[in-house]
Amino acid sequence: MELACAEINQRPGQKLKLKLVFEDNKSTPSGAKDAMKTLVNQKGVLAVIGAVASNNTIAASDVAMEEKVPLLTHASTNVTITQKGQYVSRLCFNDDFQGMVDGRLRAQHLKANTAVLMVCKGSVYSEGLSGLIQKRSSRKRAETISDELAYPERDGGLKTHVTTLKQRNPDVVFLPGYFNEVGLVIRQAREAGFQKIFSAATAGTTRSCSNWPAAT
């Protein structure tokens, strides 16, 4: 964005100079709301880009609607975000599309008949995408979801679930969440001896992790 602004400002005849103003949302919903208020009310911005996490964008969107200042997210995929109103928009695809792609990956490439869901409770991204996967699996009968296991936000905490995963012995474990949490969950699983495939949706991407070493 800084490079783009510099290029635009250097164009011949460019009278209106663009300026980027940054504010830390502390990666929390409350921080995102405070940052949005600061940008709009104290720094007088004309539009806001952000955030990455759906939880944070949803919090900031309330301020965008109240203050009538456009908010554009480049990475938040929860389907409800753009339903807030005309001042909230999105550049990336949403969870509905991502869930469709992940279902195709498991059915066509992984040939999965059974799956276990690992859901990060408290994460709008993880819970929303898991819900869409469950609906799609029920409708398409692509695979049987044998269990849903919860892991806490900002802490992998998978070790207590490894016994259940081994008992269920699914073809694939569907794991939506942010990269730092997903990486920790998979590492804990490998260290505990669970070697089945994880289909990991990490904030806008879908990956199949079949042979991650414990140190990865």
Torsion of CA 35, 181, 139, 104, to 10 degrees: 110
User: Has residue 208 got a pLDDT over 60?
Assistant: no
Q: What is the pLDDT of residues 27-37, one digit of tens each?
A: 999 999 999 99
User: Has residue 62 got a pLDDT over 50?
Assistant: yes
Residue 112's pLDDT band (cuts 50, 70, 90): confident
Q: What is the pLDDT of residues 129-188, one digit of tens each?
A: 887 777 766 555 555 777 888 877 665 556 677 888 888 889 888 888 887 778 888 888
Domain definitions of the chain by residue range: 2-90, 95-209
Distance, CA of 29 to CA of 59 (rounded, Å): 5
Give the β-pairing of 206-209 and 197-202: antiparallel
Residue type, 51: A
For residues 111-115, average pLDDT: 82
Query: In CATH, what class is 95-209?
Result: alpha beta
Is 36 within 8 Å of 10 (Cβ atoms)? no
Please indicate whether the domains covering 2-90 and 95-209 agree at the CATH topology level. Answer: yes
Tokens for 97, please give them: 């599309």
* Overall pTM > 0.75: no
Average pLDDT, the chain: 83
Q: What is the pLDDT, as a whole number, of residue 133?
A: 74
Q: What is the pLDDT, as a whole number, of residue 154?
A: 61
User: Has residue 212 got a pLDDT over 70?
Assistant: no
Q: What is the pLDDT, as a whole number, of residue 215?
A: 32
Tell which wins on pLDDT, 211 or 3. Answer: 3
Superfamily of domain 2-90 in the CATH hierarchy: Response regulator (3.40.50.2300)
Tokens for 82, please give them: 């753009």
